[in-house]
Chains A and B, each alone.
Chain A
């Protein structure tokens, strides 16, 4: 499998702040890659280095087989970018911006453009200053999604969209994946990442702290078990990897490290399981745990 984006040991400083501190990122061709991290962790800086807008201080970055700084204009024909905060020209209509960006990338698919305008329910005749934040994002999304490119770089593209439009966006990204396009999706909306992304990288303070498929990452976290037993639980709390045990008569609830799940369930069955619910770990928990650890 080829890689669309390969970054290792990337460093970028602004004055005294070290925005990127040895960041690694690998995005495989044809995958939707989730790029997660709290505000100010360096997501947008990474993307802007990849777009050749910023020059890294050290480290190596390869984008579609080229150098993002030196080969910028050539590489940009093959990608489309949606910024997190879309700023439009006040006196240009949305349709004009879509066409302009498409033409500057080397052409756009008119059928797809019309289809996307309808699905996103966007009036292309309004002037830039008349659009709300969500509608400005739709303009940039339509421009990017109707371009004929290999790679989509989306920097928090849905932060202003309503749930209905969020659903449309997810459909569109699925379609892009089905066409074999690569997507780098930076996002705060974890449900969106869980639905869309094949693999995820989590960054913190300019470094990558976790990377892998969602199921790989789930192994790193805990499952919440709630059970009603025939007899009061016996010895559960003593098991390795079991946390936060709460017992109320025959009812028990606890968190268990995913790799110790088997042992915990065996212990439960000895007390006779009458009902059992298990909550798989959510990305949100994983995400929060990383940052809580940071605080702690």
Chain B
């Protein structure tokens, strides 16, 4: 344990910006809800309507967790934020622990420190201490905020500390995953997979009355199962501390069983001879990009299925609040609320897929800066073939992501309402986003060809498109400004009429952007 304190100070110094951001965001958000609740639901009647409309809706429980009492601000806050705060506290814990353990070993920096007078367990202890302290500060800050906003003190602390408890469990889980593999990315990946599993387990338990007990298997459900402000059951908090302690013991048992820098799972060897597919630039691009494409597609399918399954219940939730109804209509169109909800989600898919397209296109740039493009371009691979192999993922990969997302949302919605006739329309609404996504990818391709040092501007462009599309109508921006975002021009399907003209225009612009990008790349210096 020698040296732990120095490592704690080092970690706090390195995290002096990111940890305060987490603490402020997670610690202060819940208190702001209290006032909003009083405004949105001023009287008993509106609160009853909310309880009946949203509280009893299993499709909403999939996302927010169970609602025990929506007639008080405390019960509402526990329902609205209990799960999300736990989720983000868990993410914060995973990243913090991995950053100060496996990431340090992965980069070789820990070896430098390990050769100084530092005990074997010092790095793990320091990382766990910092993450735990951050969780407790978040919990106490959230509790103090809620109490200051006028909620009962006991419930406030039960909710705040419950969130901290979930964070502690995932601190311990990532302390274990940091021991397993050699790479920080894998350590984060395994811990996040556990987190995703925990989210899904409780989604099943919270939305299915007969399987309610299943949620007890997920640490993410515990803050809400403590029923803060309703029953104030402190047992789940004890459960969290106990679980964190047990899992942490496992992590400490694992440390002496491995060498510094090594994982418990040995690094896997690859094939000695390349497979047939690895014979062309496209074959290589597939190897490099397939992981991201598969990950994005699976993520899109899961999220789309969740939104599809709650779409039909949305009218109940919206029905209780005139404000939300107006916002929804502004986001979508003046059609039935379910249709505009689905169209709005399709637009969200478009914006998120635009990020995928930019990432896939800019892979060419990261290959170039990592000096991995030169050896390939010194073979008979032409520049157009090489950059085209990456841009193909921006073009076709985003079609895969959007197609699967549309299909999953359509099927989930169709199965929920027992009518699959709308699957085609929902699929079309999602795929209609493609030309707009291609424009975003084309901006990245053009920057890559013309201004390779400034490719990050592509992210700025996507952010601007997203902000204009998501908030532009609500803040009543003028039409010329709204028109800057390609997503403004996509017909909102289902609901509105489908028109191909704007999509053809967008596709034409995208073709010009991609073509100009490739042409510019063929004329410039590499490196």
Report yes or no: B380 in contact with A95, Cβ–Cβ below 8 A.
no
- Asked, given contacts A74-B380, A77-B380, A101-B375, whether A54 binds B274 with beta carbons under 8 Å apart, the answer is no
Report yes or no: B271 in contact with A125, Cβ–Cβ below 8 A.
yes
Q: Does B500 have its Cβ within 8 Å of any Cβ on chain A?
A: no
Task: State A11–B284 Cα separation when bound (angstroms).
Answer: 35
Residues of B contacting A126 with CB < 8 Å?
269-270
Report yes or no: B378 in contact with A87, Cβ–Cβ below 8 A.
no
Report yes or no: B270 in contact with A100, Cβ–Cβ below 8 A.
no
Q: Does A231 have its Cβ within 8 Å of any Cβ on chain B?
A: no
Task: State A140–B375 Cα separation when bound (angstroms).
Answer: 9
Q: Mark B274-296, 1 if CB is under 8 A from A, else 0.
A: 11001111011001100000000
Report yes or no: A81 in contact with B375, Cβ–Cβ below 8 A.
yes
Task: State A97–B287 Cα separation when bound (angstroms).
Answer: 12
Task: State A12–B186 Cα separation when bound (angstroms).
Answer: 43
- Asked, given contacts A73-B382, A100-B284, whether A93 binds B270 with beta carbons under 8 Å apart, the answer is yes
Task: State A88–B375 Cα separation when bound (angstroms).
Answer: 10
Report yes or no: A105 in contact with B270, Cβ–Cβ below 8 A.
no
Q: Which of B20-28, B153-161, B241-249, B366-374 contacts A (4 or more CB under 8 A)?
A: B366-374
Residues of A contacting B275 with CB < 8 Å?
96
A window 70-93: CB within 8 A of B: 72-74, 76-77, 79-81, 83, 85-89, 91-93
**Contact count A vs B, C-beta below 8 Å:** 116
Which chain A residue shows the least CB distance to B381? A104
Report yes or no: B271 in contact with A95, Cβ–Cβ below 8 A.
yes
Q: Mark A255-290, 1 if CB is under 8 A from B, else 0.
A: 000000000000000000000000000000000000
5 contacts between A and B (CB under 8 A): A52-B377, A54-B525, A83-B375, A94-B270, A100-B274
Residues of chain B at the chain A interface (Cβ within 8 Å): 183, 267-275, 278-281, 283-284, 287-288, 370-372, 374-382, 523-527
Residues of A contacting B376 with CB < 8 Å?
101, 104
CB distance from A275 to the nearest CB of B (A): 52
How many residues on chain A are close to B (CB under 8 Å)? 44
**Candidates B380, B382, B523; contact of A105 at CB < 8 Å:** B380
Residues of B contacting A92 with CB < 8 Å?
270, 278, 287
Residues of B contacting A79 with CB < 8 Å?
378
Residues of A contacting B271 with CB < 8 Å?
93, 95-96, 125
A window 89-131: CB within 8 A of B: 89, 91-101, 103-106, 123-127, 129-130
Q: Does A60 have its Cβ within 8 Å of any Cβ on chain B?
A: no
Shortest beta-carbon contacts, A-B, top 9: A93-B270, A99-B274, A104-B379, A125-B269, A81-B378, A96-B274, A95-B272, A53-B526, A124-B272
Residues of A contacting B523 with CB < 8 Å?
55
- Asked, given contacts A93-B272, A124-B272, whether A105 binds B288 with beta carbons under 8 Å apart, the answer is no
Residues of B contacting A197 with CB < 8 Å?
none
Residue in A53, A85, A86, A94 with the greatest tally of chain B CB atoms within 10 Å: A53
CB distance from B234 to the nearest CB of A (A): 47
Report yes or no: B270 in contact with A89, Cβ–Cβ below 8 A.
no
Q: Does A28 have its Cβ within 8 Å of any Cβ on chain B?
A: no
Which chain B residue shows the least CB distance to A126? B269
**Candidates A87, A96, A104, A129; contact of B372 at CB < 8 Å:** A87
Which chain A residue shows the least CB distance to B384? A73
CB distance from A26 to the nearest CB of B (A): 21
Residues of B contacting A72 with CB < 8 Å?
377, 382
- Asked, given contacts A87-B370, A104-B380, whether A53 binds B272 with beta carbons under 8 Å apart, the answer is no
